[in-house]
Structures are given as structure tokens and as C-alpha cells.
């Protein structure tokens, strides 16, 4: 994480976060906020302030919304968050950060709504009145419209993570349908790696006078990340990974 460590600016202590969150951040090895976290956390902690953040994976953007949202969830029992992500893997990752930060508050229930996973456990999680719901648009929409097992009217905070990828995957239809039922929404956060004209239009449609935050070069993938694709049989994957 050379990129993150060279750009640290201030301490989490300066960001008026609740003590349990500060303790858990230390335990997770997060001693200082990354630039996107330093910019986003103070804005997100204000009530009703929408954010349009442009930051790539690897900049700490997950923490930029999970940390202030956890602070809000601990402070206000009425708050409940829905995070939509373009992939199952990202949903699992985001939920992992929520669970680590909220570890001791076991009364705070979570629900992970992703495709390819059995419905039974998701129904059980939804029945327990979760206040943190993370999922992919297809499965979340399925719960809302086909099974009628998820009432989005209770959601007060919404995160549209990697919105550019959700657009690329054609999820804008489900996102629009999901947002239709959100009558209790107080604050929205939208993150993307790049800001195209299409993203601008979507931001205009869904966000209310958002604060714009930008970190790094948002036109191309991060220079420290090299992407490679290797095509192979499933049984060869582990060996190739170790090579």
C-alpha cells in the first residue's frame, strides 16, 4: 500500500468519530485516513450532504463511506444503509469492512444480498431487521419486487459504489427501480473510478447538490496496478497464483 502510506495527511482523531470506531480502526491497522477518506468523512458526517466521489480501487474508498456510515448507525438508531455494488465480490468485501468496524455491536444486524447465494439465509437476515444491507442490484431488486422480503422505505442512507461499472453492466434499470421505493432517504453517496458524461447525468438524476470529491488520476486505472488476464482450467488456478 505504498500509495496510501505516502499520502496520509491527518489522524482519524481529528475527524470527530465515535470512540468505538476509532478503537476498531486502530485494531484494523488503519492509523491515518487516506486522502479520499480525509476528504469524504467530514462531509459524510454532516446530515443530508450527498457526495459524488471519484476514486479508484486501492485508494481506500470503501472506508471513505463505511467509516462515517458506521458512526451514524451507532449514533442514530433510525438510520439504516443500503450499499449497491456491481459485483458479488465487492459486496462481500464491503460487508467485511462493515462487520469489522461494528464487531461489538452485535445488536446491529446485517444482510448480504448477492446472486448465486441461497435465498434462505438472506430471508432470515432480512427478517431480523438489518440496518446494514449490502448487495448487488439484481438480487436486491429480486427481494423487493418478486419476494417482497425487503422494504426499502426504511433505508435512510444509500451508497452506489462503482456506479460506472454498474452502468457498464446495465444495472441502471434495477438501480432506478430500487430507488423508486426509497421514501425515507436522507443521504446518498455515489462513487466511481471515472466521471463520464453518462455518470454526470446519473449523478444529476440521483444526487441532491452533491459535494464533489476527487482523488488521483480518474481517467485511467491507477499506475501502480497492473491488470493481467490468464486463461486456464479451474484446477490450474491455485498453482498459477503461487507461481
Q: Which residues bind ligand AMP (CB under 6 A)?
A: 1, 4, 29-30, 33-34, 37, 57-63
Any idea how long the chain is?
243
Shortest separation between residue 116's beta carbon and ligand AMP, angstroms:
22
Q: What does the alpha-carbon distance between residue 106 and residue 99 come to, in Å, rounded to a whole number?
A: 9
Which 8-state DSSP code applies to residue 86? Answer: S
Shortest separation between residue 126's beta carbon and ligand AMP, angstroms:
26
Q: Among residues 1 and 128, whose Cβ is nearest to ligand AMP?
A: 1
Read off the C-alpha cell for 216.
Answer: 488521483
Q: Among residues 66 and 185, whose Cβ is nearest to ligand AMP?
A: 66
Shortest separation between residue 55's beta carbon and ligand AMP, angstroms:
7
User: In DSSP terms, which residues pair with 191 in a beta bridge?
Assistant: 53
Q: Among residues 6 and 146, whose Cβ is nearest to ligand AMP?
A: 6
Shortest separation between residue 243's beta carbon and ligand AMP, angstroms:
23
Q: Among residues 137 and 216, whose Cβ is nearest to ligand AMP?
A: 216
Shortest separation between residue 177's beta carbon and ligand AMP, angstroms:
27
Q: Among residues 29 and 120, whose Cβ is nearest to ligand AMP?
A: 29
Q: Among residues 67 and 126, whose Cβ is nearest to ligand AMP?
A: 67
Shortest separation between residue 127's beta carbon and ligand AMP, angstroms:
30
DSSP letters for 27-74: HTT--S--HHHHHHHHHHHSTT--EEEE--TTSSHHHHHHHHHHHHHH
Residues 6+ positions from 174 with CB-CB distance below 8 Å: 137, 138, 140, 141
Q: What does the alpha-carbon distance between residue 132 and residue 194 come to, in Å, rounded to a whole number?
A: 26
Read off the C-alpha cell for 116.
Answer: 448465486
132 touches 109 (CB < 8 A): yes
Strand 110-113 and strand 51-54: the pairing is unpaired
Amino acid at each position: 500500500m505504498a500509495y496510501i502510506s505516502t499520502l496520509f495527511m491527518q489522524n482519524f482523531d481529528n475527524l470527530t468519530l465515535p470512540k468505538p470506531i476509532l478503537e476498531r480502526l486502530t485494531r484494523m491497522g488503519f492509523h491515518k485516513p487516506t486522502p479520499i477518506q480525509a476528504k469524504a468523512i467530514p462531509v459524510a458526517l454532516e446530515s443530508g450532504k450527498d457526495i459524488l466521489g471519484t476514486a479508484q480501487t486501492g485508494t481506500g474508498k470503501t472506508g471513505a463511506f463505511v467509516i462515517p456510515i458506521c458512526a451514524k448507525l451507532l449514533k442514530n438508531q433510525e438510520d439504516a444503509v443500503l450499499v449497491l455494488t456491481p459485483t458479488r465480490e465487492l459486496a462481500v468485501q464491503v460487508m467485511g469492512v462493515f462487520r469489522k468496524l461494528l464487531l461489538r455491536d452485535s445488536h446491529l444486524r446485517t444482510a448480504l444480498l448477492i446472486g448465486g447465494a441461497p435465498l434462505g439465509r438472506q430471508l432470515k437476515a432480512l427478517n431480523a431487521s438489518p440496518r446494514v444491507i449490502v448487495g448487488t442490484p439484481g438480487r436486491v431488486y429480486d427481494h423487493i419486487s418478486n419476494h417482497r422480503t425487503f422494504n426499502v422505505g426504511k433505508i435512510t442512507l444509500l451508497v452506489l459504489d462503482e456506479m460506472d461499472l454498474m452502468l457498464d453492466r446495465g444495472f441502471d434499470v434495477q438501480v432506478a427501480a430500487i430507488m423508486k421505493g426509497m421514501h425515507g432517504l436522507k443521504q446518498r453517496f455515489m462513487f466511481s473510478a471515472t466521471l463520464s458524461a453518462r455518470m454526470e447525468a446519473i449523478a444529476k438524476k440521483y444526487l441532491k447538490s452533491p459535494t464533489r470529491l476527487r482523488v488521483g488520476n480518474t481517467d485511467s486505472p491507477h499506475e501502480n496496478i497492473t491488470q493481467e488476464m490468464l486463461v486456464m482450467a479451474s484446477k490450474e488456478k491455485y498453482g498459477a497464483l503461487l507461481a
